Amino acid sequence: MRILLIEDDRETASYVVSGFQEEGHTIRHAQDGSEGFLAALDDDYDIMIVDRMIPKLDGLSLVKALRDAGTKTPVLFLSALTSIRDRVDGLQGGGDDYLSKPFAFAELSARAQALARRPALAIEETELRVSDLVVDVLSHKVTRAGREIRLQPREYRLLCYLMRNADRVVTRTMLLESVWDINFDPRTNVVETQISRLREKIDKPYDTPLIHTIRGSGYRIHG
């Protein structure tokens, strides 16, 4: 994954840069808005991680300018501004996701990977497949090794989200936002419970487990 990070805080930048490098990604760091703007036009990236408050050209204006210039690279905003309006401004201003500071690197990495490989203009897939687990998106039919599995609506949404992000880590917050559609932490173990119910149906009767817990980060489905 080729990443462009636009962040003025050196310490945060080095933390993000080394984190992604350790995961084997290529990352370029720009210190301010104008440097970031030129870097974004200069090369092709899979994702841009942009701080909202950076010198010279603020993050929001930078992304608007890039969108006007025709750049379609997904943008993840990093910000100390967390109000609903700031989020809405960020997402309406061309951002694809919004992460508040302070953030854990695992959360940033999971979100960046979910965004980066998201086929931005892809046609809606009609079938999701991980190993012998198949979801027919049109008929909502779930089968593993040819046997049909009956899921509750929430379990189905959870499975679809995991499968759309197959081989990538998804965090608890990402699941709450996407599967439960809420922007707060209910502080119950609702995610864990649903995951374990899903495992009961998807993994338990079979030899190879597909849903994996990534300690300290979240969950990942892979064959």
Partner 1 sequence: MDRPRPTARWFGRTSRRLSLQYSVLYMGLVLLDFLFAYFLSLSEMREWAQEKMQEDAARLQTIYDQGADDLLGETVDALSRLDIDRTTIYALFDETGGPVIGPLAAIPDASSGTLVSATVLGLSLDPHEEVDAYWVQIDRIGPWTLVQATSDEVIHELLEALVAALLLGFFLLLGLGYFLGNRVGRLTEDRVAQISDVLGRAASGDLAARINPRDRAADDLGQIEGGIDDALAKIEALMAAQRQVTVDVAHDLRSPMQRLRQRLERLAPSPDFDDEKAAGLASIDQIEHTFNALLTIADLENSQAAFDKEVVPLTNILDDLRDLYEEAAEAAGLGFRVAISAPGLTVLGNRSLILQMLGNLVENSIKYCPPGAEIVVSAQTDGAQLVLEVRDTGPGMAEEFIPHACDRFSREDLSRHIHGNGLGLAIVHAIAKGHGATVSLRNLSQGLCVTISGLSQTA
Parallel, antiparallel, or unpaired: how do β-strands 141-144 and 170-171 relate? Answer: unpaired
Q: Which residues contact 84 (CB under 8 A, 6 or more apart)?
A: none
Which of 44, 124, 185, 207 contacts partner 1 by CB under 8 A?
Answer: 185
Is residue 215 a contact residue for partner 1 (CB under 8 A)?
Answer: no
Which of 100, 131, 213, 217 contacts partner 1 by CB under 8 A?
Answer: 100
Q: Which residues contact 207 (CB under 8 A, 6 or more apart)?
A: none
Q: Site residues for partner 1, window 44-63 (CB under 8 A)? A: 53
Min dist. Cβ of residue 107 to partner 1 (A): 10
Is residue 187 a contact residue for partner 1 (CB under 8 A)?
Answer: yes
Is residue 186 a contact residue for partner 1 (CB under 8 A)?
Answer: yes
Q: How far apart are CA 104 and CA 78, in angstroms?
A: 12
Which of 43, 189, 200, 214 contacts partner 1 by CB under 8 A?
Answer: 189
Is residue 21 a contact residue for partner 1 (CB under 8 A)?
Answer: no
Which stretches of the chain are assigned E, i.e. beta strand? 2-6, 26-30, 47-51, 75-79, 97-100, 127-130, 133-136, 141-144, 147-149, 170-171, 211-214, 218-221
* Contacting residues toward partner 1, per CB under 8 A: 9, 11-12, 15, 18, 53, 80-85, 88, 100-105, 154, 180-190, 193
